[in-house]
Amino acid sequence: MTYVSFHPDRPIDFVAIGRLCIDLNANETNRPMEETMTFTKYVGGSPANITIGLSRLEQKTAFIGKVANDQMGRFIVDYLRRNDIETSNVVTDQTGAVTGLAFTEIKSPTECSILMYRDNVADLRLEPGEVKEELIARSKMLLISGTALAKSPSREAVFLAVQYAKKHGTVVVLDIDYRPYTWASEAETAVYYNLAAEKSDIIIGTREEFDTMERFEENVEHSDQVTAQKWFNYSAKIVIIKHGKAGSIAYTEDGLSHQAQIFPAKVIKTFGAGDSYAAGFLYGVMQGWTIEKSMEYGSAAASIVISSHSCSDAMPTHSQIQDYMERCQKGEIVAT
């Protein structure tokens, strides 16, 4: 069954709005940040990673965002262009804002953390008037990232983008992407996430992220069914709730729940899994696949990325995902 429909004649498959930053991933693994001396630079930010992932899957993609007027900002724009992502709505800041940095710590394959520098970052300075309506009007899907809701004027720019999407029948996806250090309070977080979720056709987040949204509600048992049903009373057609190693459950407005195979991985680090999963899942949905097949595809993409040092650079192609799934079926890849 198809739960969301897209305008087939639109030239852009996917556009995202939100965070563009730099990931600095530790080269010395299995040690704390205090002992790490060298890092490798990559383009980062969840919406950027998801867009890169879909571009690698040969989808026509674009990005709406703002970068710093510095070497890092130019690096980001150049990387997007080299990955065939349209940058006509990537604006350069002129106020002296800086590029956000994310240093990663890889103590072990399962013990990873991120040290973020997000003060005065350019991506949160995107103005509503800088969002191009025509870009959203010629796109099939718009992804909004929760981090971009944390501060003004980026917050208002995101809501205007959603308004344009609703006006033109563009499917809206909310990637919750909760980063507590970006927000002023838990109450503020819950209010703005809920306002965005009410307007979204597909919502993707972890159980913990949905709990953050339900701060003022009585879902004391943290029931996935209760969570999903709330959003079906608004615009949602699909709600995906992620449970880490236990996998994900997709709930659909017809009352069904869907699960799919989880693939083994030779894990290097844990971050990036959610972004690659989202890219793979959304690709499947746009192809008209079943929910289960789309989830399986996303799961395989996630396993590839967590087996790699980077997030953005490791986003796999269709042939890489197919090969990975076949190798797993043959027992050639064993989880570590």
Q: In what order do the strands lie in the sheet with 257-258?
A: 85-92, 61-67, 12-17, 139-145, 171-175, 202-206, 238-242, 248-252, 257-258
280: nearest Cα among 270, 265, 292, 268: 292
CATH number at residue 235: 3.40.1190.20
**Residue 8 carries which DSSP code?**
T
Q: Say if strands 100-108 and 248-252 run parallel, antiparallel, or are unpaired.
A: unpaired
pLDDT digits (tens, 9 = 90+) for 18-31: 999 999 999 998 89
Assign 276 a pLDDT band (cuts: 50, 70, 90): very high
Say how many domains are in the chain: 1
Residue 49 pLDDT: 97
Residue type, 227: T
Is residue 16 packed enough to be buried (19+ CB in 10 Å), middle (13-18) or exposed (0-12)? buried
Residue 237: give the domain boundaries: 12-18+46-90+128-329
Cβ contact 82:52 at 8 Å: no
Assign 161 a pLDDT band (cuts: 50, 70, 90): very high
Residue 267 placed within a domain:
yes
Report the alpha-carbon distance of residue 166 to residue 115 in Å, rounded.
36
Residue 36 pLDDT: 92
Residue 28 placed within a domain:
no
Is residue 275 packed enough to be buried (19+ CB in 10 Å), middle (13-18) or exposed (0-12)? buried
Cβ contact 144:158 at 8 Å: yes
Residue 336 placed within a domain:
no
Residue 79 placed within a domain:
yes
Residue 250 placed within a domain:
yes
301: nearest Cα among 285, 325, 336: 325
Residue 107 placed within a domain:
no
User: pTM value?
Assistant: 0.96
Residue 122 placed within a domain:
no
